[in-house]
Chains A and B, each alone.
Chain A
Amino acid sequence: AQSVTQLGSHVSVSEGALVLLRCNYSSSVPPYLFWYVQYPNQGLQLLLKYTTGATLVKGINGFEAEFKKSETSFHLTKPSAHMSDAAEYFCAVTANQAGTALIFGKGTTLSVSS
């Protein structure tokens, strides 16, 4: 069985500050991990993904995440927040097995103040 926990339903930062959104997962098999972003009343857009290989993954809009197996974590970071980063962020996990779907965390809403 797989699960995802996103720590903090709301995160607030100032423009230019570091963004850190936390995600911990549980998986009995090697996981594939994803971060998605959602703007109000829109679908989800993929920010980045980890499947195999390099554990530091770079995505769009300056975001990156590091897969840490020992900590079962996949935290999302961005060095300098921009007003346009304000949105809801979802971490998701799946397994490399047929018939499996993405399991999503409950989401973290990021607010950016000027």
Chain B
Amino acid sequence: DGGITQSPKYLFRKEGQNVTLSCEQNLNHDAMYWYRQDPGQGLRLIYYSQIVNDFQKGDIAEGYSVSREKKESFPLTVTSAQKNPTAFYLCASKLTMTGEQYFGPGTRLTVT
């Protein structure tokens, strides 16, 4: 089955630690995206990548980093510089410039 996988589903970390969220897709999509979701805030764009080895900051990139070494993979690192990292993180991919985005199941990160 084609789709987007995110792992793990739930992640717990101590404050001050970096953590990396995984996102893999086998849809052969060129573009991939990371969003953060908080209650009542909708989805806010963190980073996106239109092509391998290239990515752009979204609206709330501070405290986050990404890499795009392979077409299938777009990991997100939440660094200790992110002041409020506890949230639900969603990864998405898109095939064409005008097509819809397909979403993974999400990772819920809790930092204490």
A-B contact count (CB 8 A): 52
Within 8 Å by CB of B90, from A34, A43, A97, lies: A43
Assuming the contacts A9-B40, A98-B50, asked whether A46 and B100 have C-beta atoms less than 8 A apart, the reply is yes
User: A104–B98 contact, CB under 8 A?
Assistant: no
- How many whole Å from B42's CB to the nearest CB in chain A? 4
**A44 in contact with B103 (CB, 8 Å):** yes
Which of B43, B48, B88, B97 is A104 in contact with, Cβ under 8 Å?
A: B43
Q: Are B97 and A101 in contact (CB under 8 A)?
A: no
| A residues in contact with B42, CB < 8 Å | 90, 104-107
Which chain B residues border A36 with CB–CB below 8 Å? 103
Closest to A49 in B: B100
Of B13-21, B69-77, B104-112, which stretch is located at the interface?
Answer: B104-112
Q: B43 contacts A99, CB within 8 Å?
A: no
Q: How far is the CA of A104 from the CA of B58 in the complex (A)?
A: 13
- In the complex, which residues of chain A have a beta carbon less than 8 angstroms from the beta carbon of B48? 101
Interface residues of A in 29-88 (CB under 8 A from B): 32, 34, 36, 41-46, 49, 51
Cβ B105 vs Cβ A42 within 8 A: yes
Q: Is B45 an interface residue (CB 8 A)?
A: yes
Minimum CB distance partner of B105 in chain A: A43
B100 surroundings in chain A (CB, below 8 A): 34, 46, 49
* Chain B proximity mask over A83-114: 1 for CB below 8 Å, otherwise 0: 00000001000101111011011110000000
> Given A41-B88, A99-B56, A106-B41, 19 more contacts at CB 8 Å?
A32-B98, A42-B105, A43-B4, A43-B6, A43-B90, A43-B103, A44-B43, A44-B90, A45-B103, A90-B42, A96-B98, A98-B97, A101-B58, A102-B33, A102-B43, A102-B45, A105-B42, A106-B42, A107-B42
Chain B residues with a Cβ under 8 A of chain A:
4, 6, 33, 35, 40-43, 45, 48, 50, 56, 58, 88, 90, 92, 97-98, 100-106, 108
15 A-B residue pairings within 8 Å (CB atoms): A9-B40, A41-B108, A42-B106, A43-B103, A43-B104, A44-B103, A94-B98, A98-B97, A99-B56, A101-B33, A102-B33, A104-B43, A106-B42, A107-B40, A107-B42
